[in-house]
DNA sequence: AAAACTATCAACCGCTCCGGG
DNA sequence: ACCCGGAGCGGTTGATAGTTT
């Protein structure tokens, strides 16, 4: 939190040197917002709606930069904001989405109505990250058993609590499926190079730093294995940049606090014989929604078969919803990018 | 009771992206 | 093509509240 009553010539707000009536640059307030300031901004926004934030700051009679007004509105004053602690379901979802999106807080926030990216970021950095740090020794043990899923379960259990419905006896199973679902969404084999997290991977599957890209799990195997254990899914690991039918040794990467842990290698055999259009209805237990994955194969420009997955519904959160997270067109993104269910702390 | 420590979270900072001139 | 300003994002800071010693 910041001290109220701070005044400073604009710095860092490149877009919002507040200009007074005489065209003179005004000093703008910094620090905590007073109730009066909140009221001014709230009233102005409700009357006039969105516009240029610099103008809003000026017209609302605030000695704040537009950037500060925007932040205050988005993070605190917006009428549709939820208050209070994250529900277990929200926590679950945050962890879930982070495994797919990484630190794209705004994208994650877009999937949690009434929550802000700042809120989620704070939650992650304080609660989840810290928890992981505490359990670092456990992490290495878990990783040696090749079970990211177990780790996820551990983390979730730590955060959400044993007694929670989501962590009930059926939960591990479900989480595994969700993890698998996430990864499957990203599964594609496209060109000789692919992009992950803004890194380019060469023909050998290494990025410019010599790292292998994250792994991708195959939804079909996840489904058929019933999510019984993560280990069972190792045979379905895919790595972008390789063709089907390849047998690869893939080091498993798992990052915690910048540590990369390399558990035993896993082999992967992808059969070409599942070149059929298949539809998977994964009916969850109880009233958990259903998601659908349509698998089919298209022939790529290089003649190799490209596995295509169309996902309708996402995890257990948005049944029937098209695959779109926030403003990020994942369908387009996934057409070119591979990802994994990994924790990226 | 007080000091030390820890957790939380509002807000700032610096950066990138994008559109308009 | 370049510059500029606005918008938005992710990382970080630091005040304060809560907890432990």
> How would you write chain A as a 3-class SS string?
CCCCCEEECCCCCCCCCCECCCCCECCEEECCCCHHHHHHHHHHHHHHCCCCHHHHHHHCCCCCCHHHHHHHHHHHHCCCCCCCCCCHHHHHHHHHHHHHHCCCHHHHHHCCCCCCHHHHHHHHHHHHHHHHHHCHHHHHHHHHCCCHHHHHHHHHHHHHCCCCHHHCCCHHHHHHHHHHHHHHHCCCCCCCCCEECCEECCCCCCCCCCCCCCCECCHHHHHHHCCCCCHHHHHHCECCCCCCCCEEEECCCEEECCEEECCCCEEEECCCCCCCCEEEEECCCCCCCCEEEEEEEEECCCCCEEEEEEEECCCCCCCCCECCECCECHHHHHCCECCCCCCEC
Q: Which residues have CB under 7 A from strand B?
A: A 1-2, 6, 8, 11-14, 29-33, 67-68, 71-72, 75-76, 85, 118-119, 121-123, 125-127, 130
Residue numbers 71-130 of A with CB closer than 7 A to any atom of strand C: 103-107, 117-118, 121-122, 125
A28 CA – C3 C1', rounded, Å:
26
Taking the C1' atom of every nucleotide in all shown strands and the CA of A14, the nearest one is: C5
Answer yes or no: is pLDDT of A14 > 70: no
Answer yes or no: is pLDDT of A216 > 70: no
Q: What is the mean pLDDT of residues A283-311?
A: 35
A274 CA – C10 C1', rounded, Å:
41
Q: What is the mean pLDDT of residues A65-73?
A: 91
What is the reported pLDDT for A134?
Answer: 58
Answer yes or no: is pLDDT of A74 > 50: yes
A230 touches strand C (CB under 7 A): no
Task: Report the candidate in A153, A138, A47 with the shortest Cα–Cα distance to residue A96.
Answer: A153
A34 touches strand C (CB under 7 A): no
Mean pLDDT for chain A overall:
51
What is the reported pLDDT for A31?
Answer: 87
Q: How confident is the model at residue A153 (pLDDT cuts 50, 70, 90)?
A: low
Answer yes or no: is pLDDT of A303 > 60: no
The highest-confidence range among A39-43, A287-291, A329-333, by mean pLDDT, is A39-43
Give pLDDT tens digits for A234-288. Answer: 222 232 322 222 222 222 233 333 332 232 222 222 223 333 222 222 222 222 2
- How many whole angstroms separate alpha carbon A54 and alpha carbon A18? 7
Model-level pTM? 0.51
What is the reported pLDDT for A88?
Answer: 85
What is the reported pLDDT for A29?
Answer: 85
Assign residue A241 a region (left: φ > 0; alpha: ψ between -120 and 50; beta: otherwise).
left
Longest dimension (CA), chain A: 75
Task: Report the candidate in A176, A269, A273, A270 with the shortest Cα–Cα distance to residue A223.
Answer: A176
Answer yes or no: is pLDDT of A84 > 60: yes
The highest-confidence range among A86-100, A118-132, A158-172, A310-324, by mean pLDDT, is A86-100
Which nucleotides of chain C does any protein CB come within 7 A of? 5-12, 14-16
What is the reported pLDDT for A132?
Answer: 66
Q: How confident is the model at residue A156 (pLDDT cuts 50, 70, 90)?
A: low
Q: What is the mean pLDDT of residues A192-209?
A: 33
Q: What is the mean pLDDT of residues A302-329?
A: 35
Q: What is the mean pLDDT of residues A32-38?
A: 91
Q: Which tokens go with A57?
A: 């700051």
What is the reported pLDDT for A51?
Answer: 86
Q: What is the mean pLDDT of residues A290-312?
A: 37
A28 CA – B20 C1', rounded, Å:
27
Q: How confident is the model at residue A83 (pLDDT cuts 50, 70, 90)?
A: confident
Q: What percent of chain A has pLDDT over 90?
A: 8
Residue pair A242/A189 in contact by the 8 Å Cβ criterion: yes
Answer yes or no: is pLDDT of A86 > 80: yes
A140 CA – C13 C1', rounded, Å:
31
A19 CA – C6 C1', rounded, Å:
15
Residue numbers 311-330 of A with CB closer than 7 A to any atom of strand C: none
Give pLDDT tens digits for A38-61. Answer: 999 999 998 888 888 988 998 898
Q: For helices A148-160 and A88-101, what crossing angle results, to 10°? A: 150
- How many whole angstroms separate alpha carbon A171 and alpha carbon A158? 14
Sign of the C-alpha dihedral, residues A85, A330, A172, A144?
A: negative
Q: What is the mean pLDDT of residues A302-306?
A: 41
Q: Which tokens go with A243?
A: 């063709």
- How many whole angstroms separate alpha carbon A204 and alpha carbon A141? 29
Phi/psi at A110 (5° precision) = -65, -20
Q: How confident is the model at residue A115 (pLDDT cuts 50, 70, 90)?
A: very high
A11 CA – C5 C1', rounded, Å:
15
Residue pair A271/A307 in contact by the 8 Å Cβ criterion: no
Q: What is the mean pLDDT of residues A185-204?
A: 32
**Poorest-confidence range of A78-87, A151-160, A318-327?**
A318-327
Give the residue whose CA sits closest to C15 at C1'. A1
What is the reported pLDDT for A73?
Answer: 92
A298 CA – B9 C1', rounded, Å:
48
């Amino acid at each position: 939190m910041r001290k109220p009553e701070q005044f400073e010539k604009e710095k860092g707000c490149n877009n919002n040197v507040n200009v007074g009536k005489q065209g003179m640059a005004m000093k703008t307030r910094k620090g905590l917002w007073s109730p009066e300031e909140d009221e001014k901004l709230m009233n102005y926004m409700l009357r006039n709606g969105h516009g240029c934030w610099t103008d809003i700051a000026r017209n609302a009679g605030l000695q704040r930069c537009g950037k500060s007004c925007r932040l205050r509105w988005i993070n605190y004053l917006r009428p549709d904001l939820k208050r209070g602690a994250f529900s277990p379901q929200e926590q679950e979802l945050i962890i879930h989405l982070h495994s797919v999106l990484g630190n794209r807080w705004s994208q994650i926030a877009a999937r949690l109505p009434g929550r802000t990216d700042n809120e989620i970021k704070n939650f992650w950095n304080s609660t989840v990250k810290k928890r992981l740090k505490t359990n670092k020794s456990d992490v290495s043990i878990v990783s040696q058993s090749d079970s990211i899923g177990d780790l996820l379960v551990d983390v979730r259990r730590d955060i959400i609590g044993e007694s929670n419905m989501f962590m009930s006896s059926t939960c591990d199973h479900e989480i595994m499926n969700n993890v698998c679902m996430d990864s499957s969404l990203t599964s594609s084999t496209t060109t000789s190079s692919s992009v992950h997290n803004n890194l380019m991977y060469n023909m050998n599957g290494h990025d410019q730093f010599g790292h292998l890209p994250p792994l991708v799990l195959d939804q079909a195997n996840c489904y058929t294995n019933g999510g019984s254990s993560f280990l069972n899914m190792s045979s379905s690991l895919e790595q972008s940049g390789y063709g089907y039918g390849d047998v690869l040794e893939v080091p498993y990467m798992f990052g915690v606090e910048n540590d990369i842990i390399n558990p035993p290698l896993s082999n992967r055999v992808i059969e070409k014989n599942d070149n059929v259009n298949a539809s998977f209805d994964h009916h969850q237990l109880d009233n958990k929604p259903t998601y659908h994955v349509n698998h089919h194969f298209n022939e790529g420009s290089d003649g190799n078969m490209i596995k295509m997955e169309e996902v309708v519904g996402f995890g257990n959160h948005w049944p029937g919803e098209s695959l779109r997270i926030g403003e990020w067109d994942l369908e387009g993104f996934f057409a070119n990018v591979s990802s994994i269910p990994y924790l990226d702390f």
